[in-house]
Structure 1
Amino acid sequence: MEARLAAWRAKKRKEAMVCRIKEVLSWQRSPTGSTVDDKDDLESIISEDSIDFSTPPRDSTFFTWTMCCLYFLLWATLYIIAIETEFGAAYFVISALIFIYFNTRSGPKRKGEVSAYSVFNPNCQSIDGTLKPEQFEQEIRFGATSVH
């Protein structure tokens, strides 16, 4: 059990270090710093359901807006330099792909969050805006205003 506890603590320290590195390199700063406490109880180690993967709420402070503006000015300056060196289109496409990569979530699903695929949700619950066969059939038979 001690080896398992030590491995779990090492894993949490590594996750905290990766989180700190992402905070330093990211323009989206979290308002609270994450620290790892060595005095974790054994129940939370054994059950992974108790881990909360939700992100802290973002604050829109002056510092955050200033950093966003500075990053944009840096990007615009480099874009102008790329245009002058006839590398502007490639720079724009590469920066768009980087923007898309860093703004998509690849982490685990948050607690209570429903999946876009209804087969993975409890009772096959679908999200709002999903076109279900029953709704489609009702619209065909009675018109689009029959669905509310």
Structure 2
Amino acid sequence: MEAKLTAYRDRKRRRAMVESMKNSVRGVLTWGKTDTTVITETPPPAYVELEDREDIESIQSEESLDLSPSQNPVVTQVTYLLYFLLWATLYMIALQFEFGAVYFILSSLVLIWKNTRSGPKKKGEISAYSVFNPNCEAIDGTLKAEQFEREIRFGASSIR
């Protein structure tokens, strides 16, 4: 049983490493565009029959880990610098053709669009809308009706 579990964990780690390398290469080739498709993988039938609860829990905890590689901040800064230089060069060309204002407005709209998240949220991340969170828990900084009422009745010093 231990040998099967060890082999399964090793295979799972290798797959995660290969996927992370594929994602990092894909990220470099697509210039930061993210792939929003989610691929769900079913475990092989031979390993479904694990009966020991501790082994199953340890496998599940390994699957929930974030195995994405952390990026080097220097590479990120150089990439952003290159993006800015490309944008500035195209902006200068647009200015020569008296198309600068339109280019600036369109590039601003593209920047706004690219900075909005359209992918799924991470596991364990709470929503900005409290009705979607467990126990309707609000995020920090949210003005709640109870807090507003307390401030009106007792002043701003009544905030906890």
After TM superposition, the score normalised by the length of structure 2 is: 0.61
**Cα–Cα, structure 1 residues 22 and 58, in superposed 2: closer, same or farther, change >3 Å?**
closer
Q: Deviations over 1:4-48 (max 9, x none)?
A: xxxxxxxxxxxx98885454222589xxxxxx9x9x6246xxxxx
Matches within 5 A, 1:17-96: 21-27=26-32, 41-42=43-44, 56-61=69-74, 63-96=75-108
Q: Which residue in 2 is equivalent to 1:104?
A: 116
**Over aligned residue pairs, what C-alpha RMSD do you find?**
3.3
Matches of 1:64 and 1:132, distance apart in 2: 38
Report percent identity of matched pairs. 51
> How many residues of Structure 1 are paired with residues of Structure 2 in the alignment?
119
Deviation at 1:129, TM superposition (A): 0.7
Q: Which runs of 4+ in 1 moved over 6 A?
A: 16-19, 51-54
Larger radius of gyration: 2
TM normalised by structure 1 equals 0.65
Change in Cα spacing, 1:90 to 1:118, as seen in structure 2 (3 Å) is same
Gaps of 5+ in 1: 1-15, 30-35, 44-49
Instruction: Report the secondary structure of 1:137's partner residue.
Output: helix
